[in-house]
Amino acid sequence: MKKVAIVGFGTVGVGVAEILERNRASIAKKAGEELELAYVVDLRDMPDSPFADKMVKDFALVENDPEVSIVVEAIGGCGAALQFVTRSLQAGKSVVTSNKQLVAEHGKELIRLAKENSCNFLFEASVGGGIPLLHPLNRCLAGNVMQDVVGILNGTTNYILTQMLEEGADYGDALKCAQELGYAEANPAADVEGIDAGRKVCILSDLAFGKNVSPEKVSMQGITKIEAVDAKFAESAGMKIKLFGRACIRDGKQYAFVSPYFVPESYLLAHVSDVFNAVSVKGSDVGEAIFYGPGAGRYPTASAVVGDIIDIAANPGRVQPAWWEEEEAELADPAGFRTPFFFRTKEDRAQAEAKLGCAVRWLPEQFGWNGGLVECSSPAKMQASGLEMGACWPVYNG
């Protein structure tokens, strides 16, 4: 019998408690022993919760109970969460979390702390929600030298982009719709500005390339500058617009950034709609593997958290391996990242080709804009061309 405590009883915390209860028998089989929810820590009173008898307000009860070996952090942010995670690990208790901000900003020191205290700090749910992703990347594909990790890491923005493309909605209406459905928060900045995806890119980069990437080093461009006309151009060119997070090694340089991409329909990632996430992982030997699924939501996220709990219970005595070095990775400026581009302009084809110094695949005019595709360029080169552009987005080419 292993005792588990949940700290923070919101969306994810409740989901974890419910799964531990509902799937108790099958979980015990996989974990090798029964898992018992011993405490739920939350400052709020919840007398009507089915877990009311487990609820306490004082984290010290968990910290000082030697029988609790696994703590689920479900508070969010880097305030109380960081404090309670730190104290749990110092007390030799393994911690599981879905808190991407915590992992992106403090993962390296928390992994060290886990190692020093012979316990584990696991966070499968922090990227891709319910999708098994970090574990496969870090373990199943461990024989590979990693090359590229790229994908749709934020469900809210993918929902908005899907609405813009399929329903012809413009950005403001699609955002409003996402807010009404509860997919986007009243203040959507973390999602639409690419900050959430950026934190996940840090974690993916840490694991794939072995050195720490801090969120402030990651170039994050969100979807707020995408207009309905861009979606029209994408459609006319047989593409979709997706917000990609990307961590990769290209021409010997390491990159980590978030950017909208035009994605040709020949790529599976173009077919990932609504709130779903998908990540493509390229390695020296596997070639390409893609992981798809629900990137958020109570039960999918809790499913990943419970998977980590079971992993800890099923491997008693395992000491956390050092997953990445604390040394900060040297990132190249994404302005130099070579890729094909889409752009739209009021100038004509001859002007565009002259300024860009290369042939352009010209697209049918949309809403008074001319659109074009260039084979290979970089953000810096596009900008330096002097071509006046209403928008300029990279085109995914694998």
Among residues 231, 235, 243, the alpha carbon closest in space to that of 200 is found at 243
Least distance from a second copy to the Cβ atom of residue 22, Å = 8
- For a second copy, the closer of residues 119 and 228 by Cβ is 119
Least distance from a second copy to the Cβ atom of residue 53, Å = 22
Q: Which of residues 265-284 bind a second copy (CB under 8 A)?
A: 268, 271-272, 283-284
Does position 303 bind a second copy by CB under 8 A? yes
Name the one range near a second copy by CB under 8 A: 20-28, 71-79, 171-179, 349-357: 20-28
Tokens describing residue 78: 């880097």
Count of positions on this chain that bind a second copy (CB under 8 A):
57
CA separation for the pair 28, 286 (Å, rounded): 33
Does position 152 bind a second copy by CB under 8 A? no
Marked catalytic residue, from 108, 200, 242, 282: 200
Give the length of the chain. Answer: 398
Does position 15 bind a second copy by CB under 8 A? yes
Does position 286 bind a second copy by CB under 8 A? yes
- Per-residue DSSP letters for 297-331? SHHHHHHHHHHHHHHHHHSTT------SEEEEP-B
Radius of gyration for the chain, computed over Cα atoms and rounded to the nearest angstrom: 23
Among residues 240, 239, 244, 205, the alpha carbon closest in space to that of 223 is found at 244
- For a second copy, the closer of residues 41 and 306 by Cβ is 306
- For a second copy, the closer of residues 257 and 291 by Cβ is 291
> How far is residue 284 from each of residues 133, 281, 289, measured CA to CA in Å?
18, 10, 12
CA separation for the pair 390, 348 (Å, rounded): 13
217 is catalytic: no
Tokens describing residue 140: 């199943």
Judge residue 78's burial from the number of C-beta atoms within 10 Å of its C-beta, 0-12 exposed, 13-18 middle, 19 or more buried: middle
Q: Which member of 46, 142, 359, 376 binds a second copy (CB under 8 A)?
A: 142
- For a second copy, the closer of residues 87 and 135 by Cβ is 135
Chain-centre distance for alpha carbon 88: 25
Name the one range near a second copy by CB under 8 A: 55-63, 229-237, 304-312, 340-348: 304-312
- For a second copy, the closer of residues 15 and 107 by Cβ is 15
CA separation for the pair 204, 214 (Å, rounded): 12
CA separation for the pair 326, 5 (Å, rounded): 29
- For a second copy, the closer of residues 244 and 341 by Cβ is 244
CA separation for the pair 90, 92 (Å, rounded): 5
Does position 310 bind a second copy by CB under 8 A? yes
What stretches of 131-219 show up as alpha helix (H) in DSSP?
A: 134-135, 155-166, 171-180, 189-192, 195-209
**91 φ, ψ (degrees, to nearest 5):** -85, 5
Does position 362 bind a second copy by CB under 8 A? no
CB-CB contact of 127 with 104 (8 Å) = no
- For a second copy, the closer of residues 194 and 300 by Cβ is 300
Does position 1 bind a second copy by CB under 8 A? no
Does position 150 bind a second copy by CB under 8 A? no
Q: Which of residues 72-131 bind a second copy (CB under 8 A)?
A: 124, 130-131
Q: Which member of 63, 86, 109, 132 binds a second copy (CB under 8 A)?
A: 132
Please state whether beta strands 68-73 and 2-7 pair in parallel, antiparallel, or not at all (unpaired). Answer: parallel
Q: Which of residues 160-219 bind a second copy (CB under 8 A)?
A: 210
Q: Which member of 27, 190, 202, 239 binds a second copy (CB under 8 A)?
A: 27
- For a second copy, the closer of residues 58 and 116 by Cβ is 116
Site string for a second copy, 225-264 (x = CB under 8 A): ----------------------------------------
Among residues 245, 244, 249, the alpha carbon closest in space to that of 209 is found at 249
**164: three-class secondary structure by DSSP:** helix
Does position 291 bind a second copy by CB under 8 A? yes
CB-CB contact of 355 with 386 (8 Å) = yes
Q: Which residues bind a second copy (CB under 8 A)?
A: 15, 19, 22-23, 26-27, 29-32, 124, 130-132, 135-136, 138-145, 210, 268, 271-272, 283-294, 297, 299-300, 302-307, 309-311, 314-315, 317-318, 321
The residues annotated with a catalytic role in the active site are 200
